[in-house]
Amino acid sequence: MSLSRRRFLQSAVALGAGTAVAVPAAHASDPIVRNGQSHIRLSIAGYSYRDYFAGKLKPAMTLEDYVDLAASMGLDAVEPTAYYFKDTSPEYLAKLKGRCTRLGLDVSGGAVGNNFCKPTPAELKEEIRKVNEWVERYAILGAKTVRIFAGPLANGDAEDKARERCAAAIEEACDHAAKHGIYLALENHGGIVSTAEQMLALIKLVRHDWFGVNWDTGNFHTADPYADLAKIAPYAVTVQIKPEIQPAGQPKGPSDLAKLINILRAASYRGYVALEYEAAEDPRTAIPGHIETLKKLMG
């Protein structure tokens, strides 16, 4: 039985019994080893068009429309989000993959809305099952990564205990993702990973070859988000870049996209950067301009 599996099961038993139990110490995850110079390709996150997928903006968008739009903007890939799949049958997923292939698009990754801070073994098991299920779906699409989340601290829970459970759940899910050749990428998305220090504390608990970070440029609301993003960039296996950023105590403002790309280059990042648009302007009119800016910065 692997270290990750033993650690998860022992943690679950401890939770169920309401007692503390000694678990094997995990070794810190190392930064991603990369060869050659930084090489960045451009993708678009399906979440950028969430109001079109939901029918709040017209005309409503399907995943096929989204793929076609990405191709029309000269992108390299798409990142379809789990929330917008009305059909998850293998037949439909294969058909959508074929559409991407015909248009010369990769599926850079995907995302699943999990919560690995659930406090009970049964709840945590269900969250792992959900991640595993979506890994299998994204594998059919040919995705390279799946974004996952740590989650918020439950009432009455201790952060160090939640972090330990979360790390064990990530390892368990990575065991399954590895069978499909998919990296699980932990997003710096609030909860117990709201700061760079919290992210690093969790990263260093996870020991798995198929684990990395989704480097989301808009999710640190600290005094210096750029400095904090630089701390976790060496662990990135996928990236979501946002046109806006919000340091602590300040209103949201434009991101310094050149600075963000330079941070990635300094970390020798090789992989996809997905634009994730969340600003107020209509995404259909705003996104093309941001895409052109990123293309110029990426060379």
pLDDT digit string, tens, across residues 157-207 = 999 999 999 999 999 999 999 999 999 999 999 999 999 999 999 999 999
The side-by-side arrangement of strands in the sheet containing 211-216 is 106-107, 77-79, 39-45, 270-275, 236-241, 211-216, 183-187, 145-148, 109-111
| Model pLDDT, residue 128 | 98
Query: Helix axis angle, 283-298 relative to 257-266, nearest 10°?
Result: 40
* Lookup result for tokens 């994204």: 138
Q: What is the mean pLDDT of residues 89-107?
A: 98
Q: pLDDT band for position 28 (50/70/90)?
A: low
28 or 25, which is more confident: 28
Instruction: Output DSSP code: residue 29.
Output: P
| Model pLDDT, residue 21 | 37
Q: Is the predicted pLDDT of residue 69 greater than 80, yes or no? A: yes
Q: Is the predicted pLDDT of residue 153 greater than 70, yes or no? A: yes
% of the chain exceeding 90 in pLDDT? 88
18 or 71, which is more confident: 71
Q: Mapping DSSP to helix (H, G, I), strand (E, B) and coil, where does residue 266 land? A: helix
Q: pLDDT band for position 2 (50/70/90)?
A: very low
Q: Is the predicted pLDDT of residue 56 greater than 80, yes or no? A: yes
Pair of tokens at residue 233:
């960039």
Q: Is the predicted pLDDT of residue 17 greater than 60, yes or no? A: no
Containing 62, the helix (H) or strand (E) segment is: none
The average confidence (pLDDT) of the chain is 92
CA distance 210 to 141: 18
Query: Which residues touch 39 (CB under 8 Å, ≥6 apart)?
Result: 270, 271
pTM greater than 0.75: yes
CA distance 31 to 252: 30
Give the start-to-end residue ranges of the domains of the chain: 39-298
Fold annotation for 39-298: TIM Barrel (3.20.20)
Q: What is the mean pLDDT of residues 259-284?
A: 97
